[in-house]
Structure 1
Amino acid sequence: MRKIIHIDMDCFFAAVEMRDNPTLRHIPLAIGGSRQSRGVISTCNYPARAFGVRSAMPTGQALKLCPHLTLLNGNMEKYKTASRQIRSIFQRYTEHIEPLSLDEAYLDVSDCSLHHGSATRIAEDIRRSIYTETGLTASAGVAPNKFLAKIASDENKPDGLFVITPDQVDGFVKTLPLKRLPGVGSKTAERLSQLGLHYCADIANAPLPLLVKHFGSLADSLLKRSQGIDERPVFKNEQRKSLGVERTLEQDLLHYTECVEAISQLLPQLQRRLEHYSTTAAGRAAPIHKVGVKLKFSDFRQTTVEKQGQPLQLDKLLPLLDEAWQRRQQQGVRLIGLHIGFKTEHLQQLTLPF
């Protein structure tokens, strides 16, 4: 058994702004699009969440829920600086760090001797150090694997700690709603519910042929996670899996030729980002594995079309755009994006005793 900690900063971007400007602490605050333009909420503080505002919500919808919401464009360089401070704190405890984003990461502390090897006390010390040195709060989950650690970090948010010891795993997962499992989105959760499957205990007792029939390759993951099994190691390499650019449009695009023009403008931006990443990756940039086009329609449906083995060229992107455009169902296009996926190599890590 391993000792895994998942650290998740509390409303990170908004928290940095509140730290730097205390007058923002007790008012609804969001980082996202301005009142005069369309966009989405990147993150929001807890006073805003009390009104129903959430990350990834369209800014217009957020303003309807909370008309007095304070909106900031955000400062990515400032957030990156704070993230680097937090990363340096992690490195005092372990080399096995897997960043998921600027504000969350997995740490494998199985071989950490600090605090007599207690993962719980290590997590407490990490949270204390983060607050003392950055003025920001973090929530943490401690468990024998990544999947449970991530779920645990959400149990006592904000500024909380939740521990699942090896002997508590079976009892914890039995009552865990299936909708909280990784890979179970709203549509999958709805299908599970229609089959009378609501909790992990239900999956454990479900016939395998039934799961395979309805969920295909996801059936194996559902079975393992519902038993608290997750064998994935914490990857200490920091190879990016993808890189992308996107734009929320001032007005919906109603014609295919307008989308072609938008793609033509986005492509140089993505090429510059790729060049910058390749330069700063110090020779570790992986080759491009796939390219993709993303469209979000007027009704907020979105679709992505990807193809492997394609160079990042306009003539190779247009067939993907055309396929995505055919899915619009007479809706306009409110957002358009491009992305590339990299080939990544996963490092194996020994399993150490708990």
Structure 2
Amino acid sequence: MFRVIAHVDMDAFFAAIEQRDNPALRGRPVIVGSPPHQRGVVCAASYEARRFGVRSAMPSATAARLCPQGIFIRPRMELYQAESRQILRLLQGTGGAVEQTSIDEAYLDWSALCPGQDADDALQQALPLARALKQRIRQERGLTASVGIAANKLLAKLASDWQKPDGLTLIAERDKVAFLRPLPVRVLPGVGPATERLLHQAGLYTLGQVQDYPGDLRELLGSFGPTLKRFAWGQDDRPLDLTDEVKSISSEETFARDTADRTELRACLRAQAAEIAAKLQRRRLAARTVQVKVRYGDFTTLTRQITVQDPVTEPVDLYRLGCWLLARDRLVCRPLRLLGLGVSNLTECTAWQLRLL
């Protein structure tokens, strides 16, 4: 049996739901997030807004400057989560194993459903399944999805990004090396700004250059070097993760004395953001949900969170979202005994995605 993996990525999920539910928004630049005059942040943006450079985790005021005609819509997370469950139901209905990696993405293993004479023949058998799934999503949910098909998770995810929105791309085994050669190194999971910088310093800008590099890159990247070299050749044996384990990373600090000093709290939050970002980088992960936790002198504990559509990895983004959550709900209304920052809704880290706007 040959391996057949599909990656399903809903197109501009939050914004697409708003455009579906309000036809007047279709074809217009929709920005899901707090309005710019309230010092909010962007949770998601439609493709019309993305053309102006609007991105998740960006301050709403910045988004308004980039896209003055943008229509700001307050996020309706309960609705998006309910819609995600409906999409998951459709994915499960295909008969393959499903690994949901976030609110709007999932891998499917269709290996048992696609018998073939060879690896590429098996992949071809998946095309009717993918077309039927896309049609069901469109007809039953009024949304579009991009689907990538390949022999492993790495290639399937790259394929789903290739022809967004509403794309369907198959990367054949016989074509994968040539497909990867011109792509920049940052398309690979785990290649964030720091790793990209190291590769560039070694003269490695494309995956073709990584393929041609003598050695396994261990001297440049340590233990991640051999993995990146295999990725550059399109080799990836990671199985689908079918567990329901909740994955999160957090950092907390209990102060020696309760404090409401803004300078001290900002320094604490900034250090926590840097710590979490470093852990995300080591695990080759990114986060869609950021949470703050505060505890007062009487041990009253509050948590607040925000979910953005495009995952974040950088400490500046984690810090900005943490500050925004504290300010939005005026959590520092009295001295804090404890301050914490955390992330969840984790997904593979891809610093740059091949999205055709």
Flag whether TM exceeds 0.5 (same fold): yes
Distance of aligned partners of 1:141 and 1:245 in 2 relative to their CA distance in 1, 3 Å threshold: farther
| Letter aligned with residue 19 of structure 1 | R
| Letter aligned with residue 35 of structure 2 | S
1:1-354 → structure 2 map (5 Å cutoff) = 1-112=2-113, 118-208=125-215, 211-242=217-248, 254-256=262-264, 263-265=293-295, 268-270=301-303, 296=316, 337-339=341-343
Q: Give 5+ residue unaligned stretches, structure 2.
A: 253-260, 270-291, 306-313, 323-336, 347-357
| Letter aligned with residue 138 of structure 1 | A
| Letter aligned with residue 341 of structure 2 | G
Cα RMSD between the aligned structures?
3.6
| Letter aligned with residue 61 of structure 1 | T
Distance of aligned partners of 1:295 and 1:38 in 2 relative to their CA distance in 1, 3 Å threshold: farther
Distance of aligned partners of 1:189 and 1:170 in 2 relative to their CA distance in 1, 3 Å threshold: same
Q: Give 3-state SS (helix, strand or coil) of 1:36's partner.
A: helix
Does the CA-based 8 Å contact 1:142-1:152 persist in structure 2? yes
CA deviation after TM superposition for structure 1 residue 299, in Å: 9.5
| Letter aligned with residue 301 of structure 2 | P
CA deviation after TM superposition for structure 1 residue 47, in Å: 1.1
CA offsets 1:93-149 (integer angstroms, 9 cap, x no match): 234101011111000001126999711111111111100100000001000000000
Does the CA-based 8 Å contact 2:98-2:107 persist in structure 1? yes
Q: Give 3-state SS (helix, strand or coil) of 2:107's partner.
A: strand
Q: Give 3-state SS (helix, strand or coil) of 2:244's partner.
A: coil
| Letter aligned with residue 53 of structure 2 | G
Does the CA-based 8 Å contact 1:34-1:71 persist in structure 2? yes
Q: Distance in 2 between matches of 1:60 and 1:296?
A: 17
Q: Give 3-state SS (helix, strand or coil) of 1:142's partner.
A: strand
Q: Percent identity?
A: 38
TM-score (norm: length of structure 1): 0.71
Does the CA-based 8 Å contact 2:294-2:302 persist in structure 1? no
CA deviation after TM superposition for structure 1 residue 338, in Å: 3.1
Does the CA-based 8 Å contact 1:131-1:137 persist in structure 2? yes
Distance of aligned partners of 1:218 and 1:124 in 2 relative to their CA distance in 1, 3 Å threshold: same
Q: Distance in 1 between matches of 2:317 and 2:13?
A: 29
Q: Give 3-state SS (helix, strand or coil) of 1:337's partner.
A: strand
TM-score (norm: length of structure 2): 0.71
Q: Distance in 2 between matches of 1:245 and 1:11?
A: 30
| Letter aligned with residue 256 of structure 1 | E
CA deviation after TM superposition for structure 1 residue 215, in Å: 1.3
Distance of aligned partners of 1:339 and 1:28 in 2 relative to their CA distance in 1, 3 Å threshold: closer
Q: Distance in 2 between matches of 1:192 and 1:243?
A: 27
Q: Distance in 2 between matches of 1:3 and 1:137?
A: 22
Does the CA-based 8 Å contact 1:30-1:43 persist in structure 2? yes
Q: Give 3-state SS (helix, strand or coil) of 1:71's partner.
A: strand
Q: Distance in 1 between matches of 2:95 and 2:157?
A: 18
| Letter aligned with residue 337 of structure 1 | L
Q: Distance in 2 between matches of 1:269 and 1:151?
A: 39
Number of residue equivalences: 286
Q: Distance in 1 between matches of 2:129 and 2:107?
A: 13
